Structure 1
């Protein structure tokens, strides 16, 4: 190779390098740089559909919160009517014990009309005090809020 060939080869390499550099400089993809910058500044990228779902959920939760606050305010402002509460406690419920009913059936029925709160507690009370075998069939009137002892006295006469 002579000198002239080497010169033209090196000039070609130089021109190709300059073209590649200029292409990369002017036509570089700018979106790759913007994403890390947004994350560094504390932003989170979310799809538009998910953003709409989040906004709907926030709106529904705010509405529910407002309703609950309103309910709380109404309950604070409402006067407590003890006469109505006492009348509720004095309601009389009819309950029939039929021949062959087990203690569990009786407890389930009494819990169903809200005379007792805990079926197992009532059953244990009846068994521990020996009332389970002395239960008499018949119709009984119960008031809300009476004790297990009072119930046992009524149904074992």
Structure 2
């Protein structure tokens, strides 16, 4: 008897689950088949969900504005880069140094300090002497800038 009761209860549970699932599927099928959502209702539903609705012409206009923005951004970046180059170059001093026979390292360093190519003539003299460039200085005309290091100046004037 207990076995029969178990079989009956199991069958009853399976039947209830089967019919409940079938009813849910039927409701979904009815909604899909019978309900047509109007465009206005679809718009309202999408806007409630936080979406933005645009016409194709609005989308085209938006894309054009986006391209224009990118072009203007590139132009601005180019302009800023050009302005930066101009600013950087305005701080640089360029000088044509003429070394004549008999000029000492002190004379050369003093001229470069007077022309604002270097800040301290003694530092350049010490650098040239300590690194044995002072004996290799060549007579000639050299272009030096305020951005050059002592080593670069030394290499330039010693060929």
State the TM-score, normalizing by the size of structure 1.
0.46
TM-score, normalized by length of structure 2? 0.45
